[in-house]
Structure 1
Amino acid sequence: MLTMARKHLLLPLLSQARRSAAAAHRHLLPPRPRTRAYCSEMGDSSESNGHGTVTRVLFCGPYWPASTSYTKEYLQSYPFIQVDEVGLEQVPDVIHNYHLCVVKNRRIDSDIIAKATQMKIIMQYGVGLEGVDVNAATEHKIKVARIPGSTTGNAVSCAEMAIYLTLGVLRKQKEMDTAVNRKDLGIPVGDTLFGKTILILGFGAIGVEVAKRLRPFGVRVLATKRNWSTDMLPSDVDDLVDKKGVPDDMCEFAGEADIVITCLALTNETVGIVDHKFLSSMKKGSYLVNIARGRLLDYKAVFDHLKSGHLAGLGIDVAWMEPFDPDDPILKFPNVIITPHVAGVTEYSYRTMAKSVGETALQLHSGKAFTEIEFAAVAPNLAGRCTGFCSKLACSIGNNGSSKVTRVLFCGPYFPASTKYTKEYLQKYPFIEVDEVALEQVPDVIHNYHICVVKNRRIDSDVIAKATQMKIIMQYGVGLEGVDVSAATEHNIKVARIPGSMTGNAVSCAEMAIYLTLGVLRKQKLMDTAVSQKDLGSPTGETIFGKTVLILGFGAIGVEIAKRLKPFGVKILATKRNWSPSSLPCDIDGLVDKKGGPEDMYELAGEADIVITCLLQTNETVGIVDNMFLSVMKKRSCLINIARGGLLDYVAVLNHLESGHLCGLGIDVAWKEPFDPEDPILKFSNVIMTPHVAGVTEYSYRTMAKVVGDVALQLHSGEPFTGIEFVN
């Protein structure tokens, strides 16, 4: 910990650090053109717009508003380029005045194209061209173009959304929100990405980026693609994909997958491709995520498979008809989450695509060669549908002193799966008794028990004095700040935790950290509002890509977070008391870009866009994220806490949210638990909270139930203890 004097000495250095960090990241946003000589001669030039004064650009409809505003900003220095946005119904009446049309979600059919007498280019602010009659445009000598996702950040942004939606359905996002509102803790029991098999349908630019980010989560990746010999594939594709297939293999692959992510283009062959046949071939209890186009999915088939329970969850950023009805029956399922078609809507991708549209307008005006777009070669015809796409289907501390029954006490009703799973594990052992009692009853009954699992009950010296038969007090996890270890030691009671690196707790917590980070960056609450208001293409979120992340506390959880973050394209800073190799769970070369001790946390905070706290709560760390620390963080940075609520100073966090210094807050733990859902801090639109479930997954909780069960069996028999770590 820094002394106050040391903190004040650091402040001038930190201001400089923030300025340097900002400068280092300016390259992530596209530069504006500085002169009219914006484009050099490259190849054959296109014909000009035929109008010597103004080139007019039309954006169709009010959705995805940032596309228009960012393009206007990019072109503000060029009065000879006019950018307008009109309502969808007005497009047919005004399109004859424009030279370049950005369709967004307006259907541009042959009747409208016939009226576009001055039109030179119809393009999409992205990649999907299914709304354009390319044949009609070709007949009228109008070029149709997309902006390649691999060059604009669209693929990166969509891949991050795919990860967010996948984690959201696995962690049961709606049920987590309900638990917070009901003041519940430790429910629902979610699932991890770790250990899953993922099928990516369509291994183009987006599919590749999804696979890159999935790899360190410990998954097996299957993928389908029409042509695996293309030069557009990365050189390390064999490291990204465990099993490759073509479209005819998709049903066979679905039978192996726990999660299916659709990244296909919408064409005549792919409309409704995820149908009854495909869904029936998926494993029972599997998940479906769609970030491509809504019509890839057969609505009735998806509804029926959700209703039957065959599908365990659905995460969609796109819908069958947009904007989607928030009262649609499919959204009533608790295991369905939807975002308002914003997978590609981030500052990074939208600023880059604004540059592409702007440059295209400038090149059209001057007759220069087009450099930012990709012209459509084949017209997508969605009039019919091909249904034949799916053709294939230790140390010992003695026994408990009783030869009859060893009794295990779980304290309180929260985190109910801990008790339930331990009982299930021990059901064949009648000589082990597992009970759960209310928090206020613990002092009255603790004298009857040999093992106490504290959960979130404070076990102080008064309670310990009554535990006359107690041998071990332990946590269902790692946090022991609620146990008076000194008092336990005086009464010859051992205190233990379950190391996160051995149980899946670290993996589960790391996945929650990624989910919360993505949720804050993508503005989860505002996305929910947009869906309920039938809005599309807003809010504009942020990517993890290009950010600097500070991990406070580089233990087992911090290491797992870093492993998963690295492929997102981030710079990682981390603090740890001891960086000796023996103190680390694995070789971290290549994971951390800058290491520091606790005394460096203020300096490192000045460089970070995102701070993730993974510290143990001790006397030294209570309130460590205080006003001083928050003040030296970069303005508009984000804070994520998956460790303990007491690490954060409540008033300081509230003040920095109110001032706008903090861009967002994502917390799985609170200052007092269960947290009041009416607390002022939860009223901010940029704050999201989960009900202390970072480590509550099937994977981690089943593993920890085994540890508790084995400890009870070992205590009963007098065998050495395994799976736990004593602190006294």
Structure 2
Amino acid sequence: MPIRPRVLLAAATTLSLYALLAPAHSLAANASAQEPSAAQLIERLGLRTAAQPVRARPGWRPPRIVLVSEQLHHLLPVLQQQAPRAKLIDIAAATPREIAAADATIGVCSAQVLAQAKQLQWIQWPAAGVERCVQQPLMRERQPLLTNLQRTMGPTMAEHVLGMMLVLSRHLDYFLKEQQQAVWAQDSAPRLADLEGRTVLVVGLGGIGTEVARRAHAFGMRVTATRASGRTGPDYVSYVGLPDELLKLAKDADFVVNCAPLTPQTTGIFNREFFESLKPGAYFISVGRGRSTVTADLIAALSGGKLAGAGLDVVDPEPLPSDSPLWRLPNVIITPHVSADTPLAEEQRTALLRENLRRYVAGEPMLSVVDIERGY
């Protein structure tokens, strides 16, 4: 395949092999045997457990009808094991009467379903980012229980971030291109750089950001971060600031990593003012949400030499149009929102879906409850 500027050929090949050798439906079929236990998952990922059992919520009852997203159809058999007395229905096959009587949904949060499902008590979102769900007006009006898959994809996405950082700092894409031409480019190679001793600013020290920070620290990097929920953080983060300290912290960063959820407060925060605050030679990595970045301002920073390079797994808009200048800039890595698409992440997502369904049926405290007003 032809090389686009700074596209990760090796990563793309690996992901393609995963898609061929370990499709999602085959992973689901072996879920019971391969998934970690609930206790292991909670400890490994630091999942948050609700303070109160879900049975204490007004309106709770063991679910009779659970609507499941078409994209999760392959998980119906393993999910049904957790709710043997409930009727789990693919939303594409659900009748208007079944939708109206639904107690819960997994991966379904459309305006149409919310309007029809007036008895709906619980929504399990099948990803970490919940912006498409919480933006529905009926969510704030009715305040159903909303849970997500936060932290299940953090380790996998953090590896993707470090991979991008290494490709950029070591110019591995340059050497791949020279290799295809059978060129021994020792004398003409660009100058390589170490990660050790560099400063990385993690914007959004949540489940993904914490895993990025952990791995960056292991590489000998100094880690700073911002988070909206307070200044606390793990020992390997040298400073945790509030969101209004973004520009101050960005001035000292060699790498900035966007791990923030998309909320009204984070939309467009990586703009012209932000990029102008960076020191020359800094790199920008984005795995959070594309709309946190003003694309035109990012292109200007890259084209003008303010940024040394960027690694983008999320962009705005998605899919990225073929005429976007980002495709042709020589200092950009683009992956198409695939940083969480690995067998490990799939295993952990499935395990949390199963465990939260089991907990809801039993009336136990739920995992990964979302604050609808805050959006995460």
Q: What TM-score do the two structures reach when normalised by structure 2?
A: 0.74
Task: Report the counterpart of residue 82 of structure 1 in structure 2.
Answer: 88
- Give the one of 27, 31, 36 matched to 1:30: 36
Cα separation, 2, equivalents of 1:172 and 1:183:
17
Cα deviation 1:88-108 (Å, max 9, x = unaligned): xx99999557543344xx8x4
Closer, same or farther in 2 for the Cα pair 1:137/1:92, shift >3 Å?
farther
The alpha carbon displacement at 1:272 in A equals 0.5
Task: Report the counterpart of residue 57 of structure 1 in structure 2.
Answer: 67
Contact conserved, 1:28 with 1:348, CA < 8 A, in 2?
A: no
Classify the secondary structure of the residue corresponding to 1:333.
Answer: coil
292-301 vs 346-355, which deviates more?
Answer: 346-355
- Give the one of 139, 142, 145 matched to 2:144: 142
Closer, same or farther in 2 for the Cα pair 1:380/1:242, shift >3 Å?
closer
Contact conserved, 2:202 with 2:258, CA < 8 A, in 1?
A: yes
Task: Report the counterpart of residue 249 of structure 1 in structure 2.
Answer: 245
Greater radius of gyration (CA): 1
Contact conserved, 1:101 with 1:122, CA < 8 A, in 2?
A: yes
AA aligned to 1:203 is: L
The alpha carbon displacement at 1:324 in A equals 3.0
The alpha carbon displacement at 1:73 in A equals 5.3
Q: Relative contact order: is structure 1 or structure 2 higher (C-alpha 8 Å, sep ≥ 6)?
A: 2
Does residue 128 in structure 1 map to residue 139 in structure 2?
no
Cα separation, 2, equivalents of 1:168 and 1:356:
32
Contact conserved, 1:174 with 1:334, CA < 8 A, in 2?
A: no
- Give the one of 308, 330, 345 matched to 1:312: 308
The alpha carbon displacement at 1:317 in A equals 1.5
Cα separation, 1, equivalents of 2:314 and 2:92:
23
Task: Report the counterpart of residue 20 of structure 2 in structure 1.
Answer: none
Task: Report the counterpart of residue 296 of structure 1 in structure 2.
Answer: 292
- Give the one of 349, 371, 374 matched to 1:376: 371
Cα deviation 1:559-590 (Å, max 9, x = unaligned): xxxxxxxxxxxxxxxxxxxxxxxxxxxxxxxx
Does residue 273 in structure 1 map to residue 269 in structure 2?
yes
AA aligned to 1:250 is: L
Cα deviation 1:672-706 (Å, max 9, x = unaligned): xxxxxxxxxxxxxxxxxxxxxxxxxxxxxxxxxxx
- Give the one of 329, 335, 339 matched to 1:333: 329
The alpha carbon displacement at 1:198 in A equals 1.2
Contact conserved, 1:100 with 1:361, CA < 8 A, in 2?
A: no
Task: Report the counterpart of residue 23 of structure 2 in structure 1.
Answer: none
Cα separation, 2, equivalents of 1:331 and 1:361:
42
Cα deviation 1:120-141 (Å, max 9, x = unaligned): 3223223211111365124245
Closer, same or farther in 2 for the Cα pair 1:211/1:27, shift >3 Å?
farther
Task: Report the counterpart of residue 157 of structure 1 in structure 2.
Answer: 156
Task: Report the counterpart of residue 172 of structure 1 in structure 2.
Answer: 171
The alpha carbon displacement at 1:264 in A equals 1.4
Cα separation, 2, equivalents of 1:92 and 1:312:
54
Does residue 353 in structure 1 map to residue 352 in structure 2?
no
Cα separation, 2, equivalents of 1:140 and 1:202:
28
- Give the one of 278, 285, 292 matched to 1:282: 278
Classify the secondary structure of the residue corresponding to 1:280.
Answer: helix
Classify the secondary structure of the residue corresponding to 1:193.
Answer: coil
Closer, same or farther in 2 for the Cα pair 1:205/1:299, shift >3 Å?
same
Classify the secondary structure of the residue corresponding to 1:374.
Answer: coil
Cα separation, 2, equivalents of 1:266 and 1:91:
33
Cα separation, 2, equivalents of 1:120 and 1:340:
34
Task: Report the counterpart of residue 48 of structure 1 in structure 2.
Answer: 61
Task: Report the counterpart of residue 210 of structure 1 in structure 2.
Answer: 212
The alpha carbon displacement at 1:278 in A equals 0.4
Cα deviation 1:526-574 (Å, max 9, x = unaligned): xxxxxxxxxxxxxxxxxxxxxxxxxxxxxxxxxxxxxxxxxxxxxxxxx
Structure 1: stretches of 5+ with no match in the other structure: 1-25, 33-41, 382-728
The alpha carbon displacement at 1:75 in A equals 2.7
Task: Report the counterpart of residue 486 of structure 1 in structure 2.
Answer: none
Taking the TM superposition and a 5 Å limit, the aligned residue runs for 1:439-450 are none
RMSD: 3.4
Task: Report the counterpart of residue 114 of structure 2 in structure 1.
Answer: 113
Contact conserved, 1:58 with 1:95, CA < 8 A, in 2?
A: no
Cα separation, 2, equivalents of 1:267 and 1:343:
21
Cα separation, 2, equivalents of 1:327 and 1:81:
47
- Give the one of 105, 111, 114 matched to 1:101: 105
Cα deviation 1:249-281 (Å, max 9, x = unaligned): 221221211111112121111100000000011
The alpha carbon displacement at 1:296 in A equals 0.9
Q: What TM-score do the two structures reach when normalised by structure 1?
A: 0.40
Classify the secondary structure of the residue corresponding to 2:132.
Answer: coil
Classify the secondary structure of the residue corresponding to 1:272.
Answer: coil
Cα separation, 2, equivalents of 1:85 and 1:158:
29
Cα separation, 2, equivalents of 1:201 and 1:218:
19
Closer, same or farther in 2 for the Cα pair 1:356/1:183, shift >3 Å?
same
Cα separation, 1, equivalents of 2:91 and 2:113:
16
The alpha carbon displacement at 1:289 in A equals 0.2
The alpha carbon displacement at 1:316 in A equals 1.4
The alpha carbon displacement at 1:374 in A equals 1.0
The alpha carbon displacement at 1:86 in A equals 4.8
Cα deviation 1:322-363 (Å, max 9, x = unaligned): 333355321211221122323333322322221222233344
Closer, same or farther in 2 for the Cα pair 1:284/1:44, shift >3 Å?
closer
Cα separation, 2, equivalents of 1:245 and 1:138:
29
Cα separation, 1, equivalents of 2:140 and 2:269:
28
Taking the TM superposition and a 5 Å limit, the aligned residue runs for 1:134-533 are 135-140=137-142, 142-149=144-151, 152=152, 154-186=153-185, 188-189=189-190, 190-230=192-232, 233-234=233-234, 237=235, 240-364=236-360, 366=361, 368-380=363-375
Task: Report the counterpart of residue 390 of structure 1 in structure 2.
Answer: none
AA aligned to 1:210 is: V
Cα separation, 2, equivalents of 1:155 and 1:291:
10
The alpha carbon displacement at 1:110 in A equals 4.3
Cα separation, 2, equivalents of 1:143 and 1:227:
20
Cα separation, 2, equivalents of 1:304 and 1:339:
20
Closer, same or farther in 2 for the Cα pair 1:43/1:115, shift >3 Å?
closer
Classify the secondary structure of the residue corresponding to 1:198.
Answer: strand
AA aligned to 1:194 is: E
Cα separation, 1, equivalents of 2:281 and 2:101:
53
Cα separation, 1, equivalents of 2:175 and 2:162:
18
Cα separation, 1, equivalents of 2:95 and 2:288:
25
Closer, same or farther in 2 for the Cα pair 1:138/1:273, shift >3 Å?
closer
Closer, same or farther in 2 for the Cα pair 1:263/1:50, shift >3 Å?
closer
Contact conserved, 1:292 with 1:318, CA < 8 A, in 2?
A: yes
Classify the secondary structure of the residue corresponding to 2:297.
Answer: helix
The alpha carbon displacement at 1:288 in A equals 0.3
Cα deviation 1:25-52 (Å, max 9, x = unaligned): x9983259xxxxxxxxx8451522663x
Closer, same or farther in 2 for the Cα pair 1:320/1:359, shift >3 Å?
same
The alpha carbon displacement at 1:380 in A equals 3.8
Cα separation, 1, equivalents of 2:96 and 2:283:
41
Cα separation, 1, equivalents of 2:240 and 2:91:
43
